[in-house]
Structure 1
Amino acid sequence: MSHRQFAPLDYVIFGACLFISIGIGVYHAFKGRHHKTTNEYYFGGKTMGAIPVTLSLIVTYQSSVFLLGMPAELYVYGTMFMWILVGVSIGFVLISLLIAPLLHPLDIKTVYQYLELRYNHHAPRKLASFLGLVVVAIYLGLVLYGPAIALVTVTGFPIWGSFVVVAVGVILYTSIGGYRAVIWADVFQFCIIIVGLLSILIKGLMSLKELNFLTVAKESGRIDFTEISFDPTVRHTVWGLVIGNAFHFFSLGYSQLIVQRILSCKNTSISKRSVRSTIPGFIVFWTSTCTLGLMAFSYFYERGCDPLKSKMIKSPNQILPYFVMNIFEEVPGLPGLFLAALFSATISTLSSGLNSLPIITWEDFLKPIIPTVSDGKTLLIGKCLVILYGGLAIGIAYIILHTGGPILQVTQATFGCINGPVVGMFILGATFRCANYKT
Structure 2
Amino acid sequence: MDPSRGIGTFVVWDYVVFAGMLLISAAIGIYYAFAGDKQQTSKDFLMGGRRMSAVPVALSLTASFMSAVTVLGTPTEVYRFGAIFSLFGITYLLVVVISAEIFLPVFYKLGITSTYEKQYLELRFNKYVRLCGTIVYIIQTVLYTGIVIYAPALALNQVTGFDLWGAVVATGVVCTFYCTLGGLKAVVWTDVFQVGIMLAGFVSVLIQASVIQGGIGPIINDARNGGRLNFWNFNPNPLQRHTFWTIILGGTFTWTSLYGVNQSQVQRYISCKSRFQAKLSLYINLVGLWVILVCAVLCGLALYSRYHDCDPWTNNKVSAPDQLMPYLVLDILQDYPGLPGLFVACAYSGTLSTVSSSINALAAVTVEDLVKPNFRSLSERSLSWISQGMSVLFGVLCIGMAALASLMGALLQAALSIIGMIGGPLLGLFSLGILVPFGNSIGALIGLLAGFAASFWVGIGAQLYPPLPERTMPLSLETYGCNNTYNGSNWMTTTAMPFSTTAFQEHNVERTPLMDNWYSLSYLYFSTLGTLVTLFVGILVSLSTGGRKQNLDRKFLLTKEDMLFNFDNFKKKEQVVGYKSHPVEEGGTDNPAFNHIEMNFTDPSGRTSGTHL
Same-fold status (TM-score > 0.5)? yes
Which of structures 1 and 2 has the bigger CA Rg? 2
User: What is the match of residue 421 of structure 1?
Assistant: 425
Aligned residue for 2:270, secondary structure, equals helix
| Larger RCO, structure (CA 8 Å, separation 6 or more) | 1
Aligned residue for 1:104, secondary structure, equals helix
Q: 2:22, 2:272 → 1: CA distance?
A: 27
Q: How does 1:4-403 map to 2 (within 5 A)?
A: 4-31=8-35, 36-113=40-117, 114-119=120-125, 121-209=126-214, 212-252=218-258, 253-301=260-308, 304-403=309-408
Q: 1:18, 1:192 → 2: CA distance?
A: 11
Query: What is the identity percentage for the equivalent residue pairs of Structure 1 and Structure 2?
Result: 35
One-letter amino acid matched to 2:237: D
Give the stretch that moved more between structures: 137-146 or 65-74: 137-146
Question: Shift of residue 226 of structure 1?
Answer: 2.2
Q: 2:156, 2:73 → 1: CA distance?
A: 15
Gaps of 5+ in 2: 444-613
Q: 2:38, 2:378 → 1: CA distance?
A: 19
Q: 2:195, 2:235 → 1: CA distance?
A: 37
One-letter amino acid matched to 2:277: I
Question: Shift of residue 58 of structure 1?
Answer: 0.4
> CA offsets per residue over residues 213-270 of structure 1, 9 Å max, x none?
1111111112112211122221101001011111222222101111111221001111
User: What is the match of residue 413 of structure 2?
Assistant: 409
One-letter amino acid matched to 1:122: K
Question: Shift of residue 34 of structure 1?
Answer: 5.5
Q: 1:51, 1:34 → 2: CA distance?
A: 21
Question: Shift of residue 55 of structure 1?
Answer: 0.5
Aligned residue for 2:403, secondary structure, equals helix
Aligned residue for 1:434, secondary structure, equals coil
One-letter amino acid matched to 2:303: A
Give the stretch that moved more between structures: 227-236 or 159-168: 227-236
Q: 1:331, 1:53 → 2: CA distance?
A: 34
One-letter amino acid matched to 2:265: I
Question: Shift of residue 367 of structure 1?
Answer: 2.2
Aligned residue for 2:251, secondary structure, equals helix
Q: Is the contact between residue 41 and residue 384 of structure 2 (CA under 8 Å) also seen in structure 1?
A: yes
User: In angstroms, what is the RMSD of aligned CA positions?
Assistant: 1.4
Judging changes above 3 Å, is the alpha-carbon distance between structure 1 residues 118 and 192 closer, same or farther for their aligned structure 2 residues? same
Give the stretch that moved more between structures: 218-227 or 350-359: 218-227
Question: Shift of residue 32 of structure 1?
Answer: 5.1
Q: Is the contact between residue 45 and residue 387 of structure 2 (CA under 8 Å) also seen in structure 1?
A: no
> CA offsets per residue over residues 321-351 of structure 1, 9 Å max, x none?
1001100021111001111111111111111
> CA offsets per residue over residues 280-320 of structure 1, 9 Å max, x none?
1111101110110111111012xx32101011111111111
Task: Please give the TM-score of this superposition, normalised by the length of structure 2.
Answer: 0.69
Q: Is the contact between residue 68 and residue 146 of structure 1 (CA under 8 Å) also seen in structure 2?
A: no
Q: 2:27, 2:38 → 1: CA distance?
A: 19
Q: 2:60, 2:352 → 1: CA distance?
A: 11
Question: Shift of residue 201 of structure 1?
Answer: 0.8
Runs of 4+ that moved beyond 4 A? 32-35
> CA offsets per residue over residues 380-435 of structure 1, 9 Å max, x none?
2222221221121112211111332x211001111111111111111111122111
One-letter amino acid matched to 1:239: W
Q: 2:164, 2:66 → 1: CA distance?
A: 22
Q: Is the contact between residue 151 and residue 162 of structure 1 (CA under 8 Å) also seen in structure 2?
A: no
> CA offsets per residue over residues 58-99 of structure 1, 9 Å max, x none?
001010011111001001111122211111111111111111
> CA offsets per residue over residues 182-206 of structure 1, 9 Å max, x none?
1111111111112111111111101
Question: Shift of residue 138 of structure 1?
Answer: 1.2
Q: 1:107, 1:89 → 2: CA distance?
A: 25
Aligned residue for 1:224, secondary structure, equals coil
Q: 2:296, 2:141 → 1: CA distance?
A: 24
Q: 1:151, 1:413 → 2: CA distance?
A: 23
Gaps of 5+ in 1: none
Q: 2:122, 2:89 → 1: CA distance?
A: 34
Aligned residue for 1:438, secondary structure, equals helix
Q: Is the contact between residue 6 and residue 154 of structure 1 (CA under 8 Å) also seen in structure 2?
A: no
Q: Is the contact between residue 39 and residue 384 of structure 2 (CA under 8 Å) also seen in structure 1?
A: no
Q: 1:146, 1:282 → 2: CA distance?
A: 22
> CA offsets per residue over residues 2-32 of structure 1, 9 Å max, x none?
2111111111111111100100101111015
Judging changes above 3 Å, is the alpha-carbon distance between structure 1 residues 363 and 291 closer, same or farther for their aligned structure 2 residues? same
Q: 2:222, 2:355 → 1: CA distance?
A: 37
Judging changes above 3 Å, is the alpha-carbon distance between structure 1 residues 423 and 35 closer, same or farther for their aligned structure 2 residues? closer
